[in-house]
Structures are given as structure tokens and as C-alpha cells.
Structure 1
Amino acid sequence: MAAIQVTPYLLTLFLISLLVFPASAIPLRRWKSLDTIKALNRKGPYLGLITVYPPEEDAFFVTGAFKPHPRHPFVDLSGRRFRVGQIEGKKAIYVRCGMGMVNAAAATQQMLDVFDITGVIHFGIAGNVNNSMSIGDVTIPKQFAHTGLWDWLKPNGTMGTNDVAHLDIGSYNMPKGDGSNLLGHIGYSPEQFFSESGTPNKAQRLLWAQITDNWLRLAARLQGMELERCVNSSLCLPEKPKLLVGLRGSSANIFVDNAAYRDFLFRTFQVSSVDMESAAVVMTSLSNGFPVIVIRGLSDLAGGQPGKNQIDIFGPLAALNAAKAVIHFVKTLPGHAS
């Protein structure tokens, strides 16, 4: 599927660049990148691997599972480095997208447009909002919601007809008082989802983006796998981390470190993890018709812990457990062999 998109995209990019700039004005590195991409795509297809920020990348590469391409180990595009190689003997292209929904969607779309990709594996760390789970656990959700589309209403405002949930800020006043608050209310809206399988330029109303079913079934085989328990020789978790498949996750451009909001998300949306990118990666992949899965290690309690957030302490461990789960998941995937 992806190979059909690659040639027209590159040809269009080439023609536009010639119309806008003389050939002498196009940087040499851009020409080299286009040549490299063309050569790589002839040898495709590839799995797409996407993390967010350096600690997740470090945890992935420290495993040694990713073997760089001997001639073309990376391609630099738009400020991002797309690394080319193999994982478990299967061809893969990896990129660190950067924090937030915009970065996640942009990097995913660029990967799908430029390279011959068969599917996307997104992984990293997340906050835990489910009291039945623990730091160090790995979650592979079945659904993701973008919980960052808000209608911020007046104190006496009413929910819009499109809103799917409601947060009354006044109900969190301390002391309680009469419950009124000038910040009013927040109404949560669903996404507008555009898909190549739908009518062009016509959005579908979407709250829950579904992870690809057959990949989720493959991931279910990972339950019970051994995960790391210790940060170092002197700091270990009280219990063995576990891997759970089939829960719900939420994403927004919000780093959640607030117990009240954490509980609201769990009660209202029944999500178990929160992050700032996954929903964007999932929606972009599905919009383009590609399979996608998300694997996140739980690094903190999203404000549910007393004192300081523990992401700096347990983040590397959570990232390593997520990376290990990715490696085991890739083993289960058919095809993509070198």
C-alpha cells in the first residue's frame, strides 16, 4: 500500500522544488536524502517505530536490538532523524517525534508519506491513572481518546451538543463554599476524523480511536513476559511489573500531575494511562489506512503520589520495559524479513 504513495509524493516534491527554486538553490543534502529514500524504498517495506523524547530513545537503543543499515543508517528530514535498520531480523525505520500532539502527528504523517511503511509501533512512557496498576507496568491499550479538545464555558454555561463529558471546576473549590468558580466548566469534544476510506473532506465524529485488531491479538501473547523490576542495585519496585493488553488510554497536550484531574479522567473516560502523543499517532496512522499499536511503560502516578512526581526516578525503567515489549512484539509479527 505504502509503496504506491511513495513515488508520486517524491515526484511532486521534486517538481514543486524546481518551480519554486532553481536547481542550484536546492541544498545538496536534500538531493542526497531523496536519492537515499528512493534506494531504501526499493528494498522495503519497513516497520515504523516512533518514540517521543531522548530517555525513551536511550532505553530502546541500549537493548541493542536495533541494527543500523550498513550503508544508509539514517535520513535527516525537516529536522528529524529517521534511523534505518533491522529489529529482530525485520526491516524498520525509527524516529523520535518530539513532545506533543502536533509533533507526533507531523512525524507520523511524514514517515508514512516518505517511506514504504507497513505499520506503526508507537512506544514510550505514560502516567498511570488506574490504581489497580503500578509504576513499571506496561500497557498496550485497545483504544485512545484525545482528551484535549475543550469547550471552556462560562460559570453558568451549558454543555454543547457535541460534548461527550463535562468537568465542573467549581466542584473542586477548597473550601467547598457554594461551588461557583469564575473558571466555569469544561466540555470535552470528540475529534473530527478524516480517513482515506471515508468520503473526501467529510469528517467522522470520533472519540475512541481503535488499535488495529490483529496486532492487538498478537500483543495479547506478550502477557506474562518478564519485565525489569529494578532501577539499579539499590532501588527496586516492591512487585514484579506486569504487561496488560486491552485497556484505554488518553492523550492531550497536558502533562498530568494532579490527583483530582487524574481521578476525573479515570472516572469519566475509564482510561488507565495518560500521555501527550499516542492518540495523534493512532489517528494519523488509521486515517492513512495503516495498522498501529501503542506500547507504553508506566513511569509515574500522574499526580496520585504524595510529594514530587517520580518520572525522573522510574522513567528510565518504564521506558526500558516498554522497549522490551516492543522487541517481543516485533518477534510475533510475520513478514518484513531482511
Structure 2
Amino acid sequence: MRVLVLNLLISSLVFPLSATPLKRRKSLNTIKYLNHKGPYLGLITVYPPEEDAFFATKAFKLDPIHPFVDLSGRRFRVGKLHGKKVIYVRCGIGMVNAAATTQQMLDLFDITGIVHFGIAGNLNNSMSIGDITIPKQFAHTGIWDWLELNGTLGTNDVADLKIGSYNVPKMQGINLLGQIGYSYEEFFSESGKPNTAQPLLWLQITRKWLQFAASLEGTELEQCVNSSVCLPQKPKLVVGLRGSTANIFAGNVAYRDFLFNTFQVSSVDMESAAVVMNEVCRLKKLYNLVLFSALYG
């Protein structure tokens, strides 16, 4: 997204304003107006079922003058949630979509922090469908070194998955897929040395918001959607576990068990680490919070 923004700035120096498409000019003028009315809290979901559930609460009230801004194929909706000014967007599935949308939101709007919420996979047997988890940190578990059959882990690898350990039956022996080494994320920050990456495994959620989230533990959550659809047990809200993110839908039980046992993560999704990393890499102090409900698996 930085490249796209840079290209836009360069174009404005080379071409007159009239060369900027009318639709984009209108959007940028609206953003300028909105930022004078800010700041805002950013809200991000991923795909239509999450968005539909959010809208169904009727808690989000659109701004009567500028209810939305369309940018790069996404609709950024402007309004209030329980009296707080917010800008909401649905980013789309996967880390690329999440990173691009978060970067665009932070670059163009006056945002004090982001709440990313929706559905996640469950890796922890103490959690059930319908529970809510607010993790304290995330790992990007999709950076792999897929090693040769008898290869050795690299110095940047923090864990390994020996695929042969999951052979059925066991006596089949070596698996030709070998093993996978899990590597650190490369982290670039405005407060760091330019063009120099730091190795990073755990991305931290803002401490101030985690403290606030902790005050929500014990909140009574509804067990039934209606008179005929109920969860088998009353759902709970848990703060302070770990989450993992990768461009992988983790529907395989053995792999989910591996992630839980190796990284001690309780939830798995395809966007959160990208959202959090976009925030923590910036010099400006932002608050970030990730909230998952309706855990599956």
C-alpha cells in the first residue's frame, strides 16, 4: 500500500489536478472533510457473514452527510457506535487483503486505534463454539522453510513440523515431504533503523486495551439465538491467550493440535497478525485489539 500511496503522490506532482479521476478526487475531498471531524476508531471485519452479523445489531449508525467513502474497491463506512466516532470496513480474506486495508485506513484517515473482530478457529479444548477470545499476542505461522528430506533447520527457524511423525500406520517410516521449519517475521518500524528488519515472532496487542478487555471478563453472554437455537453451554469471554495467523484455513485436527502444542496458541485465523503488524510498526501510538467470537472447531 505504501507503493500505491507513493505513486499517487508522484502523479500529483507530474500531472495537473484535473488529471486525477473525478471519483477519486471526490473521495479524497470527503476524507479531508471527515478528518477535520475526527479522530475515529477503526473497525475491521473480513467477510460478509461477519459484516451481516455486525449490521444486524443495529448499533452502528451511519453518518447522515457522508455515510461512506469508496476507495480501491472497498467501502469505508463512517458513523458512530454507541456514541463513538468510527470508520468501518470489510477487508476481504487473507493477510494481503488485511494488510492493504489496514495500511490504507491508517494512511488516509485520522485513526486512533483499530478493533478487528470476527470468527476464528479454535485450537484450545477449554474453549467452545460461541466463546469470545481476546488474545494478547499473535504469531505469523505461515513463514515456512520446507526442507529437503534430510535437511536441517535454519538458524531463523523457531519450530519444526516433522511430517513423518503423522504417518498412518507408523511403520510406513519416512515421509518424502520431510519437515517444515517455522521462521520469524521480518519487522520494519518507523522507530527502527531504515531498511533494517528485526526478527519478530510475537506481535503484541496494546497493553492499555488488554487491561480494558480484562474488565469485560465475566460479562454475561447470550446462550440462545432464539427459542429453538441454543449453544450446549453458556459462552464465556477469555482475555490474554495467544493467537496465530497464516494464509491457511486450518481445518485439519492434527495440524491444529501441532500449533497448540508447539506455539501454545488458542485461536487461528487468516488476517489478525497482518492487522496488528501494520499498527505496531508505526511511530504514532495506536491502540489495537482483536476480538474473536463464535469460534469454530
TM-score range, shorter chain: over 0.9
Match of residue 105, structure 1, among 99, 110, 113: 99
The corresponding residue for 1:277 is: 271
Q: Contact 1:273–1:298 at 8 Å: present in 2 too? A: no
> Within the alignment, does 1:165 sit opposite 2:176 as a pair?
no
Match of residue 151, structure 1, among 145, 150, 161: 145
Q: Contact 1:252–1:276 at 8 Å: present in 2 too? A: yes
SS in 2 for 1:299: strand
Q: Distance in 2 between matches of 1:267 and 1:66?
A: 39
Structure in which a larger fraction of residues adopt helix: 1
Q: Contact 2:132–2:295 at 8 Å: present in 1 too? A: no
Q: Contact 1:192–1:205 at 8 Å: present in 2 too? A: yes
The corresponding residue for 1:324 is: none
CA shift for structure 1 position 298 = 3.6
RMSD of the TM alignment (CA)?
1.7
CA shift for structure 1 position 88 = 1.3
SS in 1 for 2:171: coil
> Within the alignment, does 1:131 sit opposite 2:125 as a pair?
yes
CA shift for structure 1 position 232 = 3.8
Q: Distance in 1 between matches of 2:248 and 2:52?
A: 23
- Corresponding pairs, count: 292
The corresponding residue for 1:295 is: 291
The corresponding residue for 1:40 is: 34
Counting aligned pairs with the same residue, the percent is 73
The corresponding residue for 2:241 is: 247
For normalisation by structure 1, the TM-score amounts to: 0.83
CA shift for structure 1 position 17 = 3.0
CA shift for structure 1 position 101 = 0.5
Match of residue 75, structure 1, among 58, 69, 76: 69
Q: Distance in 2 between matches of 1:231 and 1:153?
A: 47
Residues 254/14 of structure 1: CA separation in 2 closer, same or farther (3 Å cut): closer
Q: Contact 1:142–1:210 at 8 Å: present in 2 too? A: yes
Q: Contact 1:139–1:298 at 8 Å: present in 2 too? A: no
Q: Contact 2:161–2:179 at 8 Å: present in 1 too? A: yes
Q: Does 291-300 or 94-103 show the bigger shift? A: 291-300
Q: Distance in 2 between matches of 1:89 and 1:215?
A: 18
Q: Contact 1:173–1:181 at 8 Å: present in 2 too? A: yes
> Within the alignment, does 1:220 sit opposite 2:195 as a pair?
no
The corresponding residue for 1:115 is: 109
For normalisation by structure 2, the TM-score amounts to: 0.94
Structure 2 counterpart of 1:141, one-letter code: P
Residues 14/278 of structure 1: CA separation in 2 closer, same or farther (3 Å cut): closer
Structure 2 counterpart of 1:114, one-letter code: L
Deviations 1:242-277 (A, max 9, x none): 000000000000001111001000000000000000
CA shift for structure 1 position 229 = 1.7
Deviations 1:188-219 (A, max 9, x none): 00101111221221111100001000110001
